[in-house]
Structure 1
Amino acid sequence: MPERDLLGPWLRRFLTEFIVTERNLARNTRASYRDTFRLFLPFASRKLRKPVDRLTVRDLASGLVLKFLSHVEDDRGCSVRTRNQRLAAIKAFARFIGSRDPAHIEWCGHIRAISSKKTMQPSVGWLTRSEMEAMLAVPDRKTERGQHEYALLLFLYNTGARVSEATELKVQDLSLAARRGGHDLATLHGKGGKIRQCPLWPETERALAHEIREREMDAPVFVSRLGTGFTRFGVYRLIERCAAQVPALAGRTITPHVIRHTTACHLVLAGVDINTIRAWLGHVSISTTNIYAEIDLTLKANAVALCEVGQQRPGRSWKEDKDLMAFLKSL
């Protein structure tokens, strides 16, 4: 069997060369693509009763892909969003093969014709200023551990950083120069290798200056009680624990991304233009940031409703409107 028909060589090139070297996709995106095929290939092997290393490109027909997507939703209990992510990875793989081998263009077209399922846009969860201040008040700043936790929470709120951006922050990424007439800045390394700078509040600068004292330049800024850098799980666990101690947040799920939403919404309510917020959060497209603009419009609509003057008068029944009935009959 020609090697160009076997699935294995194509998949190796796709996962180790194309998405890493040519596309330079984010690490989490690479992991998502890898995990898709770690699930898909054993599924295809079982359905086709064929060893994984003998699978061909054309074995992954559109019908098999649809069965796999149903398996993801029904058997594994995943959401529609996850189902669409798995499909996006398979489509990217098909596009990669189709662009390099004309013999597989027709197969590629069948795979790319599979539609994503429509999903409901989740509502933006965010905290009010008082709720965020209550979260910041939870860590006991009289202790070393409490100071670490307070600095991390304050940094997330100040910058709207993603979890990965906070956990990967190094001492060398901080520029604490306001006392010398400059600006206090944090350099964040975002998705896809994109870099942006966020200004820091004086309070954030003080907390971070205390954190990084006597640290090496390549050391992490945020460390756990064990002295090692915070992990993603550690940040999630910290925020979950702090939220549990705020009565106003009882029954709500508070995550690092909720704090990111909080930063954006507070910027909107402060009158910051949406394009500045896009750059602040590191969004590629402004359409991603536009969800926060709706927050302000909703608040304005609620305010107008509260200030409405007078009550609506009961109108006449449509049956009593003789002119209307005559109009309808004339149509």
Structure 2
Amino acid sequence: MPEHVTLGPWLRRFLCEYIVTERNLARNTCKSYRDTFSLLLPFVSRKLRKPVDRLAVRDLTSPLVLLFLAHLEEDRGCSARTRNQRLSAIRAFARFIGSRDPAHVEWCGHIRAIASKKSMSPPVGWLTRSEMEAMLAVPDRKTRRGHSEYALLLFLYNTGARVSEATQLKVRDLQIGRGNGGYDLATLHGKGGKTRQCPLWPETERVLADKILGRPVDDAVFVSRLGTPFTRFGVYRLIERCAARVPELAERTITPHVIRHTTACHLVLAGVDINTIRAWLGHVSISTTNIYAEIDLTLKASAIAVCEVGQPRPSRSWKEDKDLMAFLKSL
């Protein structure tokens, strides 16, 4: 089978050259695309009873893609958002082939015509100040392990860092112990290779200073009890374990992203403007941050009170100011 017809060479170029070199997409995006095709190709192979390495581009028909998307939701229990994420990777692959081989333009159009499914954004889950303090109190700070776990939880709450940003934090990314009124900072490496700096609370600075004292600059700041850098799974397990020890949180699903939401919501309640929160969290668009402007019932109640029906309106004092009206007429 000619190379331009076989699916494999196209997929190799797409994953190894196009999205990495030409598009320079984030590493997590590349992994998401890879995972999509790791699920899609065996599914198509089973349906067509054809080895994966013998699949042709045109074997990937729109009806088969729709069957695959249905399989994700019905058999694997994925949400509509996950389904749409997988579809976006398949569309990007079709666009890549269609833009380079005119013979596949029609096939590309059929794949890209598959519609995304409407999905509802889940409500923002966050913790009250007392709930967050209760979680911070769970690790036993008298032990080395508890001190390390407390430092990680406190850092996540202080900075609103994504879990990947916390696990990738190196000693050199911390600028602490400056004194003379300077700010202690953490440099976070976020999505798409973007970096940002977050100020640290005095308590966070104190805890982290103890952790990094005398360590090489290339060391990961947060390490597990085995002395290896924390993984994403390790951070999830830590937060899950601490939340289970707090009675108010026992029945709730608490993740690192819930703590990120908590940081944003507490900034909103403290009166920090939404654009500052956008920069704090590393959002590209302020529309992403606007969800936090809607989370607090106290703010909503204050807004309703301003426009409550039946409230006496202020008197129009300008009508009674004879001197002012005379002044205006004299101009």
Question: Structure 1 length as normaliser, TM-score?
Answer: 0.89
> Amino acid of the residue matched to residue 69 of structure 2?
L
Match in the other structure for 2:99: 99
Could you tell me which residue of structure 2 aligns to residue 326 of structure 1?
none
Q: How far apart are residue 182 of structure 1 and its match?
A: 2.6
Distance 1:57 1:280 in 2: 44
Q: Indicate how the Cα distance of structure 1 residues 173 and 107 shifts in structure 2: closer, same or farther if over 3 A, else same.
A: same
Q: Secondary structure at the match of 1:4?
A: coil
Answer yes or no: is 1:169 the counterpart of 2:169.
yes
CA 1:112–1:308: 2 relative to 1, 3 Å: closer
Q: Answer whether contact 2:159 2:263 (CA < 8 A) is retained.
A: yes
SS in 2 for 1:178: coil
Partner of 1:197: 197
Name the aligned partner's letter for residue 119 of structure 1.
S
What is the deviation of 1:299?
A: 2.7
Residue 75 of structure 1: how far off its partner (Å) = 2.0
CA distance in 2, matches of 1:97, 1:261: 39
Would you say the 8 A contact 2:294–2:300 is kept in 1?
A: no
Over residues 18-71 of structure 1, what are the superposed CA-to-partner deviations in whole Å (9 max), with x where a residue is unaligned?
111122222222111111111111111222222222211111111111111111
Counterpart CA distance in 1 for 2:285 and 2:96 is 24
Mean Cα deviation higher: 108-117 or 18-27? 18-27
Aligned partner of residue 179 in structure 2, secondary structure: helix
Residue of structure 2 equivalent to 1:118: 118
1:258 counterpart letter in structure 2: V
How far apart are 1:250 and its partner, in Å?
Answer: 2.5
Partner of 2:299: 300
Post-superposition CA distance 1:194-253 (Å, at most 9, x none): 111111111111010011011110001011112221111111111111111212222111
Partner residue, 2:319: none
Q: CA deviation at 1:304?
A: 6.9
Distance 1:37 1:195 in 2: 30
Q: Which residue number in structure 2 is paired with residue 218 of structure 1? A: 218
Count of residue pairs brought into register by the alignment: 310
CA distance in 2, matches of 1:78, 1:211: 39
What's the offset of the Cα at 1:157? 0.3
- After TM superposition, the score normalised by the length of structure 2 is 0.89
Match runs of 1:5-16 below 5 Å: 5-16=5-16
Partners of 2:71 and 2:309 in 1: CA distance: 56
Aligned match of 2:256? 256
Q: How does 1:177-326 map to 2 (within 5 A)?
A: 177-296=177-296, 298-302=297-301
- The AA in structure 1 aligned to 2:300 is A
RMSD (CA atoms): 2.0
CA distance in 2, matches of 1:179, 1:54: 65
What CA deviation, in whole Å up to 9, does each residue of 1:136-195 have, x standing for no partner? 111111222121111111100000001111011000011114314432111111111111
**2:206 aligned counterpart, secondary structure:** helix
User: What residue number does 1:36 align with?
Assistant: 36
Q: Which amino acid aligns with 1:38?
A: S
Q: Which segment drifts farther, 241-250 or 162-171?
A: 241-250
Question: For 1:90 and 1:79, how far apart are their aligned partners in 2?
Answer: 17
Q: Displacement of 1:287 after TM fit?
A: 1.5
1:47 aligns to 2:47 (yes or no):
yes
Q: Aligned partners of 2:49 and 2:229: how far apart in 1?
A: 46
SS at match of 2:197: strand
Which residue number in structure 2 is paired with residue 24 of structure 1? 24
Deviation at 1:255, TM superposition (A): 0.9
Q: Higher mean Cα deviation, 233-242 or 213-222?
A: 233-242
* Gapped regions of structure 1 (runs ≥ 5): 312-331
Superimposed CA distance per residue, residues 61-108 of structure 1 (whole angstroms, 9 cap, x where no aligned partner): 111111111111122222212211111110110111112222212211
Q: Which moved more, 1:256-265 or 1:65-74?
A: 65-74
Deviation at 1:307, TM superposition (A): 11
Q: What is the DSSP-based 3-state SS (H/G/I as helix, E as strand, rest coil) of the residue aligned with 1:283?
A: coil
Residue 328 of structure 1 corresponds to none
Deviation at 1:302, TM superposition (A): 3.9
Q: CA separation in 2, counterparts of 1:98 and 1:207?
A: 54
